[in-house]
Amino acid sequence: MIIEILTLFPEMFEAFQTFSILGRAVEKNLVSIQTHNIRDFADNKHKQADDYPYGGGAGMVLMPQPLSDSIKHVLSRYPKEEQAGELGAKSPKVIYLSPQGKVLNQKLALQLSKEPALILLCGHYEGIDQRVIDRYVDMEISIGDYVLTGGEIPAMVLIDCITRLIPGVLGSSESILEESHSNSLLEYPHYTRPAVYDGDEVPQILLSGNHKEIERWRRQQSLRNTMQKRPDLLNKEVLTKEDWKLLKELEDFF
Ligand code: 4GT
């Protein structure tokens, strides 16, 4: 996947893309992160990309000219929709990171992870000129109900979330099949060596070697965590008879 980022602060993405799982994915050419400085597209001699808001008020707004030209520059490197034809190559979706967007969740991340390319537009200060949103933006995405100073950190959150869903990015030991949210249950507790740390023991079942029983215990712990911490996530429709039995056992215990 190619991720094109339009930002006033491209340096923020340099270290970010070299570490951990994303760093490895970039090295393996499973993801490519291309940054473009919106300021470089400003056609005024001071390379100014923001200006005061019409109607007054606090803060600055990113001007339509540098934004539009940077978007057009990136889009021009992809086949136009009508040229794409039967082969299915299409121009990448333009995503604006904004608190007004659809709130990111695992389902949306999984859909986006299947795209060959994405354009992420990062605003700063008070935001961007509405006309750019109206003309170019295909989707607005929020990472949660709070306000930040820029769209760069939300773009990083989106990239991290999407990248780990791209086939080949996670190793087999990091498999995502049984993880939080995709199946709408929270994770079970994790333990590693040593078996006793500072007097605290690892649950005996995990040392038993009984894989069937371990799986059952983990499912029960997932159900318990979800019921106690995020009951809103517990979709009772998808619980099996065995799940209800595991929940009943917990009830009897407490
Ligand atoms: C929050 C989010 C976001 C901001 C979010 C335009 C100028 C928006 C500052 C930017 N705050 N962007 N994407 N919750 N602030 O996702």
pLDDT surpassing 50 at residue 180? no
pLDDT surpassing 80 at residue 81? no
Rounded distance from Cα 171 to ligand 1 centre (Å): 32
Return the closest-CA partner of residue 225 out of 233, 237, 235: 233
The strand pairing partners of 128, in sequence order, are 62
Q: What's the DSSP call for residue 72?
A: H
Would you mind telling me the total number of residues written for the chain in this entry? 254
pLDDT surpassing 70 at residue 183? no
pLDDT surpassing 60 at residue 4? yes
Going by alpha carbons, the residue nearest to atom 2 of ligand 1 is 99
Single-letter residue type at 45: K
Q: In whole angstroms, what separates CA 182 from the centre of its chain?
A: 13
Q: In whole angstroms, what separates CA 154 from the centre of its chain?
A: 8
Domains along the sequence of the chain with CATH:
2-163 (3.40.1280.10), 180-253 (1.10.1270.20)
Distant-in-sequence, close-in-space partners of 123: CB < 8 Å, separation ≥ 6: 62, 96, 97, 98, 150, 151
pLDDT > 90 in the chain, percent = 89
Contact, 205 vs 198, CB < 8 A?
Answer: no
Q: Torsions phi, psi of 6, nearest 5?
A: -105, 120
Contact, 142 vs 29, CB < 8 A?
Answer: no
Banded pLDDT at 175 (limits 50, 70, 90): confident
Q: Is 124 in the pocket of ligand 1 (CB under 6 A)?
A: yes
Q: Torsions phi, psi of 192, nearest 5?
A: -140, 180
What does the block give as tokens for 219?
A: 């499912």
Rounded distance from Cα 100 to ligand 1 centre (Å): 8
Element of type H or E holding 16: helix 12-16
- CA 169 to CA 1: how far, in whole Å? 11
Q: What would the pLDDT profile of 18-32 be if each residue is shown by its tens digit?
A: 999 999 999 999 999
Rg (C-alpha) for the chain, rounded Å, is 23
Rounded distance from Cα 69 to ligand 1 centre (Å): 22
Banded pLDDT at 177 (limits 50, 70, 90): low
Q: Is 133 in the pocket of ligand 1 (CB under 6 A)?
A: no
pLDDT surpassing 90 at residue 42? yes
Distant-in-sequence, close-in-space partners of 130: CB < 8 Å, separation ≥ 6: none
Pocket probe mutation, ligand 1, options 97, 126, 149, max atoms within 8 Å of Cβ: 97
- CA 97 to CA 150: how far, in whole Å? 9
Banded pLDDT at 132 (limits 50, 70, 90): very high
- CA 6 to CA 143: how far, in whole Å? 18
The answer to whether the bond into 79 is cis (omega within 30° of 0) is: no
Rounded to an integer, the average pLDDT of 156-178 is 90
Q: What's the DSSP call for residue 28?
A: T
Assessment of whether the complete model's pTM goes beyond 0.85: yes
Q: What would the pLDDT profile of 117-126 be if each residue is shown by its tens digit?
A: 999 999 999 9
Rounded distance from Cα 154 to ligand 1 centre (Å): 7
pLDDT surpassing 60 at residue 6? yes
